[in-house]
Structure 1
């Protein structure tokens, strides 16, 4: 934990204590909640073809405590959110690190037995507008705190959400540091550059964003966002989510368009990308069958913040992101909720993605392809003493035509999660 972060947290607590001395406690305590999530995570990547390391394989146990206060009484209410996280090594070795489950020394590749962090956020509320300062977990198309490992990624900054108008939600914020999923301290913001897509080493002092979610009708939601990673890239997003009732079935349409370009000094080099994607799913009973298509226009790959994943058509894939220069991706996905067959809590998914026309001359050519077969089975206990205990098994078979220097390499990947969340308060 850095000294700067520690000082920030101490000053935040002191300020909050001063506020409490002048405010009523009723709503602050009454509306508070504390939850504990225990997460057991096993990740196994078995690499194929030529590769420096034959596998990335680790097993870890995590604990996440989330404490959310209510707000003090008055026209302006104040509160405090705290998130404590602990990761414990169960199995690892220097020759198979790199899963991002555990923190390790990049030189010796020795894994730490444990790592922990504490995030605090002071918050204020006026009417239906909330402002938070401190540790943030945004979940937006342009900035997404990835929860895809043992402990979630987090950001440091200011975030405002306003619901003053019915059906309209405004978002605005500025982040200046990021705490990665396998890290314990805040680091400068950077542009993700797998497969050498952009110039390495470029960092930014801030990431600004603003946007709106507008529920046009009960069946149509529109999203519009603008973001800027200063002196690296700017990005505009337009999205539409539509549900069309068809008797006892429904058609879901999910459209996402990102327009990205370099900004200011362009520290990471040229950014020129238009990402257009759409997913169309037909739902009936417990079934969902979807087909989608995504294409990269422009001279570069799709840009997104380092340490996470892009919220595009391929989100949720395990071994690659499918946003290389010029890439065209189509996908077929099937989901089934076994509650329709009398087994509530059990769900399954199968998906196939295929990308082609990939332009990566340094990694093998100008017309490469990749594919991924993804399978998932999950079950959440619905009643009894273990109610809420969740089991999740995911399996991926990923293949590409890129050479051994590529960030994403052909592999078979297995992930097993056991999560249990209990409310302490």
Structure 2
């Protein structure tokens, strides 16, 4: 009798484990075919960067074991394959490149494993992470995603609130198979090329509803810089035809610890204001950078605000930027088609070692994207995005950002199993 009871308990426990951990498991294969073509218009030593590759990201996300505290495991396997890359045109951060021969690797890959624990609406993850916060986030702007190694806790136990706390020690860049120390971006010589193996980040976001939120975040990149921000985003209905959109962020950054990257002193205001009517959205944006240095951020990624520069970051010391953008949803002509055009100009740039203290830069950017609608069988999940930019500045030729014409084409498809 005791054996039967024990056997019944084991079977019941096994079934609960299967139902929660195994049966809730999700798997997907994301593929990206990516072409990058940057033609410099004013230099001849490196006339162009051209790389074309195919990427695959296979992801398995388990469910959680039963009980008050649930345990799970996620895994990612990523691989990239060269389709075209001449040795005199590499360096687009699509593929790993031999620093001596400048040859791009024929293939590369990486595997990530993430353990996870969940209690109520609080989840802890440890291992391979792809954070998504305004102070650190995993960039997907090339072939394969940038990943980090560390621990992150996210909680939704407070109504309408997302709280995030994290610690990172290594990064696996978009064009690499190996983990390395976290590095500050030194674009245009703003900071020394310093690294760290320790950073903390955290913050919260409170949603009044799906269109209106406030938040605050902070990061301490050990011995490099500290950064804090407050943010607000809203979508206000003016009448039956018009909506007023706002997206505001204020960052303040300073030095930390040993100051390995040199001085850091920057306050950045990023504001975007838009009007939406039907399929049309008209936006005016501005960046105001003050302090003794430019804006600090992590190497290998971008900054998570409205101004998504294609050929530049618009984050130089004392730079004042304004931007005009028009978005239109073309679903009345082709369902799933969207188009955007933006003009951005930065003035008052302070780069004495790169040409002066009143430099300028500007960029035209065009974005056309088509996503196959849900009702189209088999092809749902396919997305094609084309970006074209025309960029100019009056910096010295040795600057990180040089005048160019740039084309990017990405074809994404996701299978869900």
When normalised by structure 1's length, the TM-score is 0.92
Of 93, 114, 119 in structure 1, the residue corresponding to residue 112 of structure 2 is 119
Distance in 1, Cα, partners of 2:196 & 2:169: 8
Matching of residue 371 in structure 1 with residue 334 in structure 2: no
1:305-384 alignment to 2 at 5 Å?
305-314=298-307, 316-339=308-331, 341-382=332-373, 383-384=376-377
Distance in 1, Cα, partners of 2:408 & 2:210: 36
Secondary structure, counterpart of 1:24 in structure 2: helix
Distance in 2, Cα, partners of 1:313 & 1:265: 32
Name the structure 2 match of 1:220. 212
Q: Give 1:384 shift.
A: 2.6
- Superposed CA offset, 1:288-309 (max 9, x none): 1000111100000000011111
Name the structure 2 match of 1:422. 415
Of 215, 221, 227 in structure 2, the residue corresponding to residue 235 of structure 1 is 227
Give the 3 Å change call, closer, same or farther, for CA 318–292 of structure 1 in structure 2: same
- Superposed CA offset, 1:97-152 (max 9, x none): 01111111112111110000001100000000000000001111000110000001
Structure 2 residue ranges without an equivalent (≥5): 1-12
Contact 1:294–1:313 under 8 Å retained in 2: no
When normalised by structure 2's length, the TM-score is 0.94
Give the 3 Å change call, closer, same or farther, for CA 109–23 of structure 1 in structure 2: farther
Distance in 2, Cα, partners of 1:102 & 1:21: 44
Distance in 1, Cα, partners of 2:350 & 2:56: 42
Q: Between Structure 1 and Structure 2, whose CA radius of gyration is higher?
A: 2
Q: Give 1:318 shift.
A: 1.2
Q: Moved runs in structure 1, 4+ residues, more than 3 A?
A: 20-23, 216-219
Q: Give 1:85 shift.
A: 0.5
Distance in 2, Cα, partners of 1:168 & 1:224: 12
Name the structure 2 match of 1:148. 141
Matching of residue 291 in structure 1 with residue 278 in structure 2: no
Q: Give 1:224 shift.
A: 0.2
Secondary structure, counterpart of 2:46 in structure 1: coil
Distance in 1, Cα, partners of 2:305 & 2:295: 10
- Superposed CA offset, 1:384-424 (max 9, x none): 32222111111000001111101111000000111111112
Distance in 1, Cα, partners of 2:183 & 2:391: 27
Q: Give 1:218 shift.
A: 5.3
Of 71, 74, 85 in structure 1, the residue corresponding to residue 64 of structure 2 is 71
Matching of residue 186 in structure 1 with residue 210 in structure 2: no
Secondary structure, counterpart of 2:353 in structure 1: helix
Distance in 2, Cα, partners of 1:102 & 1:185: 13
**Number of equivalenced pairs:** 402
Name the structure 1 match of 2:77. 84
Name the structure 2 match of 1:52. 45
RMSD of Structure 2 on Structure 1 (CA): 1.4
Distance in 2, Cα, partners of 1:250 & 1:313: 18
Distance in 2, Cα, partners of 1:24 & 1:31: 10
Contact 1:256–1:276 under 8 Å retained in 2: yes
Q: Give 1:48 shift.
A: 1.2
Q: Give 1:354 shift.
A: 0.2
- Superposed CA offset, 1:227-258 (max 9, x none): 10001100001100011111222111000111
Secondary structure, counterpart of 1:26 in structure 2: helix
Q: Give 1:83 shift.
A: 1.0
Name the structure 1 match of 2:8. none
Distance in 1, Cα, partners of 2:389 & 2:219: 32
